């Protein structure tokens, strides 16, 4: 009987491309997420609850709600995405799969980028799609909805990336939730400021291009540097 013979001269040629690896990682995380959907629903439910509680607690008057809508939407989105961060690398670290990826000979930065992308697709994007709906409930006029969608989309990208650094740094900590929030929240403040500002301008019907561009710049900045920082933090925590 022939086993899968270990070829001692393992050719680099048989290795999948960097894109192939990223796709595999993305596919794996999406599949895993749908097998335990409760983790997926939790931040979204939180977002929906917070945004519906405000009209009940303050006033059902749409003209007044409209003034606070940008703040409500953004504070809720920020907290909801923090809620989801804890799960980003934790499961993989606990069952030893993260260690295997660190030892795979593939760039950890690429693997973590793919994981962060999956995380954004599962939490950031649904939040961005929900934000305009919540906006309508808060009396936001229809013309402002594209602005809300765009700003929350860009903002959650940066939040996921910042969160990746925080989650990687707190891997070794039991009950990391509080520490993770403490680490990530101050860094997330610029996103909150520019995001809420863009939304505010959109609601008033003024051009919101400037804060949106800044949000995009933050996202690009995060994309280039956050995976490097996260990979370094993961390596320290695996030691």
Partner 1 sequence: MSEAMLQVENLHLWRGERHVLRGVGFSVNSGECLQLSGPNGAGKTSLLRTVCGLSYPEGGQIRWRGEDVHRDLPGFHSQMAYLGHEPPLKMELTGRENLHYWVGVRRRFARSELERALERVGGQRWSDRPVRTLSAGQKRRVALAGLLLMAVPLWLLDEPTTNLDVEGQQLVGTLIDEHLAAGGLAMAAVHHPLAVSERGLRRLELGGG
Write the DSSP assignment of 205-238 as a string of letters: T---HHHHHHHHHHHHHHHHHHHHHHHHHHHHHH
In the complex, least distance from residue 25 CB atom to partner 1, rounded to whole angstroms: 7
105 φ/ψ angles, rounded to the nearest 5 degrees: 80, 0
Provide the CA 101 distance to its chain's centre, in angstroms.
Answer: 21
CB 177 within 8 A of CB 163: no
Within the chain, how many helices (H) and strands (E) appear? 10, 0
In the complex, least distance from residue 117 CB atom to partner 1, rounded to whole angstroms: 15
In the complex, least distance from residue 101 CB atom to partner 1, rounded to whole angstroms: 7
Per DSSP (E only), the strands in 78-133 are none
- CB closer to partner 1 out of 107 and 149: 107
- CB closer to partner 1 out of 7 and 63: 7
In the complex, least distance from residue 79 CB atom to partner 1, rounded to whole angstroms: 27
In the complex, least distance from residue 43 CB atom to partner 1, rounded to whole angstroms: 19
Interface ranges with partner 1 (CB under 8 A): 1-8, 10, 12, 14-16, 20-21, 24-25, 27-28, 31-32, 35-36, 91, 95-97, 99-107, 111, 238-239
Q: Give the dihedral sign, CA 87/90/92/94.
A: negative
Token pair, residue 128, equals 């961005």
- CB closer to partner 1 out of 15 and 53: 15
Backbone angle region of 139, left / alpha / beta, with phi > 0 → left and psi within -120 to 50 → alpha: left
- CB closer to partner 1 out of 40 and 137: 40
- CB closer to partner 1 out of 16 and 146: 16
């Amino acid at each position: 009987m022939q086993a899968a013979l270990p070829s001692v001269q393992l050719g680099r040629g048989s290795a999948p491309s960097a894109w192939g690896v990223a796709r595999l990682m993305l596919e794996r995380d999406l599949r895993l997420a749908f097998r335990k959907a409760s983790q997926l629903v939790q931040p979204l439910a939180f977002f929906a609850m917070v945004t519906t509680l405000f009209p009940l607690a303050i006033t059902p008057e749409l003209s007044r709600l409209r003034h606070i809508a940008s703040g409500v939407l953004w504070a809720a989105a920020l907290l909801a995405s923090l809620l989801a961060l804890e799960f980003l690398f934790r499961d993989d670290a606990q069952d030893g799969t993260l260690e295997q990826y660190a030892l795979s000979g593939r760039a950890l930065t690429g693997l973590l980028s793919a994981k962060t992308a999956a995380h954004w697709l599962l939490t950031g994007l649904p939040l961005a799609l929900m934000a305009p709906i919540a906006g309508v409930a808060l009396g936001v006029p229809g013309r402002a909805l594209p602005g809300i969608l765009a700003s929350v989309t860009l903002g959650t990208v940066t939040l996921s990336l910042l969160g990746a650094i925080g989650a990687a740094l707190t891997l070794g900590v039991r009950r990391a939730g509080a520490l993770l929030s403490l680490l990530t929240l101050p860094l997330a403040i610029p996103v909150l400021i520019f995001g809420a500002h863009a939304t505010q301008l959109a609601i008033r019907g003024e051009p919101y291009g400037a804060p949106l561009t800044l949000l995009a710049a933050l996202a690009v900045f995060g994309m280039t540097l956050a995976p490097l920082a996260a990979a370094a933090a993961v390596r320290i925590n695996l030691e």
